[in-house]
Amino acid sequence: MKFPYFYQQMLGFLSVIIMLLTISVVSIVLFARNTAIRGTENQLFSYAESIVDVNLEAEQLANFQSLLSNQGVTFFVFNQNGELVFPNLPDHIETRVIPEEEERLRNGERVSLTTQQADLYGNPRETAYVYLPYFSNSAGDYAGFVAVSAPVSQIDRQMSALKRNLFNAFLISTVVAILVSFIFARYQVKRVNELRQAAHLVAEGDYDVRLEHRDRDEIDILSQDFNKMIHALDLSRQEVNRQEERRKTFMQDAAHEMRTPLTTINGLLEGLEYDVIPESQRLRSIQLMRKETKRLIRLVNENLDYENIRSNRIMLNKHTLPVSEILDEIKEQMTTIAESSNNTLQIDSLEGLTVYADYDRFKQILVNLIKNAIQFTENGTIKVSGQKTDKGTRISIQDTGIGMTEEQMKNIWDRYYKADVSRTNTRYGESGLGLSIVQQLAELHQAHLTVESQLNKGTTFAIEFPDSKV
């Protein structure tokens, strides 16, 4: 760290405070000096007026002179020609009056305080002057002017006391400013450090860190945003973990599903290789291997299908379809299978009922649900019904089979989930992929899929397809 934040803050605060102090001190000094000058000016004018009031009598003027000289004040009286009338000075001393000001005096104007580098005698010292014209008593004509002067050092003496006080005040204020800046800077740096520590903890994997904030300033808003960011990070981390968990389970399940047919095929091939399968059994072995191979192909295809649906890689070609015709086709395929497990497949007359869906995918959904119903029912009835609803078309598949528990119902949508593992490898496949595909397809159609079931009583799957939005 080349220039720590603490020093930056201190510097910032101090420069502002010292600048303000300097401006105030300079203004006060200027104002005080101005006031002092005005005071002196008024005083000198009042002397000048008193001098004019005594009608410029020499004796009185001399009295004044001695009185005022105690205060360092000097005055000269000039006539209308600019000639010195009082005091009587030796010839070699020149008096100093500026011509244009004399002009103003002639016009009856008083000349307010000016400072010069020399006094009335020409001695080099800074002196303040006022000039007051006076007029003849009779005609009121301009008769001359009075020049009153005082050394500027008098004003400066008052000023230097003020400056000393101000300087002390400036020093004390600066010390206080440094202290206050220090406290403020420390406070701000502490808050930034809290943020830094929190970020550090998060970097080390602690997502429970939360910063306190009180809605005061930008740092509070930053803390608030920081908390939101950590929350979002935590959620996405959990999601990543969940995905990773699912990926692992999926890999395990997929491997498990493939191992059974592969082991069967491998065993049979070994038997054929070492000629341990009797001639009469060979054809059956080959048929078994074909069946297992088919099962593997189906597994791979269904997985691919599932992935394609999930990643939106399939396009639905939706139309308004006649439900009863499609169910007739399905019935034809399924009746034999249903009868082989002593089930009756009963399909309501759904003449005129339509559904807005993709033909192949709609059929795939129904085949899967009906196949399941047949698969998990013995000596029962599978009833398919349908009706129009407010929003679309609802199809139900009801069976009187083994049913499911609440717990089982929660999991049936997962890939490879089978409620009863002992039932695997039946003639219907049973890889546990059917319902997960049905669910994805339903989502794709924005269809609402529900299941109701009672153990040993039966199950009803219902799916409601929305009508096309016209």
Ligand X SMILES: Nc1ncnc2c1ncn2[C@@H]1O[C@H](COP(=O)(O)OP(=O)(O)OP(=O)(O)O)[C@@H](O)[C@H]1O
Residues that bind Mg ion (CB under 5 A): 372, 434
Closest approach of Mg ion to the CB of residue 376, in Å: 9
Judged by beta carbon, residue 40 or residue 459, the one nearer ligand X is 459
- The radius of gyration computed from the CA coordinates of the chain, to the nearest angstrom, equals 55
Q: Which is nearer to ligand X, 264 or 400 (CB)?
A: 400
Select 5 or 416, whichever has its Cβ closest to ligand X: 416
Q: How far is the CB of 454 from Mg ion (least distance, A)?
A: 19
Find which of Mg ion, ligand X, none residue 404 binds, CB within 5 to 8 Å per kind.
Answer: ligand X
Residue 261 contact among ligand X, Mg ion, none, beta carbon within 5 to 8 Å by kind:
none
- Report the C-alpha gap between 145 and 78 in whole angstroms: 5
Residue 378 contact partner, candidates Mg ion, ligand X, none, CB within 5 to 8 A by sort of partner: none
Q: How far is CA 160 from CA 19, 41, 42, 70, in A?
A: 22, 19, 21, 21
Shortest gap between Cβ of 428 and ligand X (angstroms)?
Answer: 6
The secondary structure of 200-268 as a DSSP string is HHHHTT-TT------SSSHHHHHHHHHHHHHHHHHHHHHHHHHHHHHHHHHHHHHHHHHHHHHHHHHHH
Q: How far apart are CB 264 and ligand X at their closest, in Å?
A: 17
Phi–psi pair at 434, nearest 5 degrees? -50, -55
Using the minimum distance from each CB to Mg ion, give the nearer residue, 243 or 411: 411
Q: Which of Mg ion, ligand X, none does residue 417 bind to, with CB < 5 to 8 Å depending on kind?
A: ligand X
User: Which C-beta is closer to Mg ion: that of 40 or that of 431?
Assistant: 431
Q: Which two tokens stand for residue 246?
A: 């699912």
Tokens of 115: 């400072």
3-state secondary structure of 417: coil
Closest distance of CB 433 from ligand X, Å: 4
Q: Is the previous residue joined to 151 through a cis bond, with omega within 30 degrees of 0? A: no
- Binding site residues, ligand X, CB under 6 A: 372-373, 375-376, 399, 401-404, 412, 417-420, 428-436, 459
Enter the tokens of residue 312.
């939106």
Residue 5 interaction partner, one of Mg ion, ligand X, none, beta carbon < 5-8 Å per kind: none
Q: Which residue is nearest to ligand X (CB)?
A: 434
Query: Residue 138: helix, strand or coil by DSSP?
Result: coil
Q: How far is the CB of 286 from ligand X (least distance, A)?
A: 24
**CB of 435 vs ligand X, minimal distance in Å:** 3
Of all helices (H) and strands (E), which one includes residue 78? strand 74-79
Residue 396 or 431 having the CB closest to ligand X: 431
Nearer to Mg ion, 372 or 396 (CB): 372
Give me the residue whose beta carbon is nearest to Mg ion.
434
For Mg ion, the closer CB: 261 or 434: 434
- Tell the smallest beta-carbon distance from residue 434 to Mg ion (Å): 3
Measured distance CA(358)–CA(370) in Å, rounded: 18
CB neighbours of residue 453 within 10 Å: 21
Q: Report whether 48 contacts 130 (CB < 8 A).
A: yes
Picked from Mg ion, ligand X, none, the partner binding residue 419 (CB below 5 to 8 A depending on kind) is ligand X
The item of ligand X, Mg ion, none sharing an interface with residue 433, based on CB under 5 to 8 Å by kind, is ligand X
Answer yes or no: are the C-beta atoms of 325 and 359 closer than 8 Å. no
Map residue 74 onto helix, strand or coil: strand
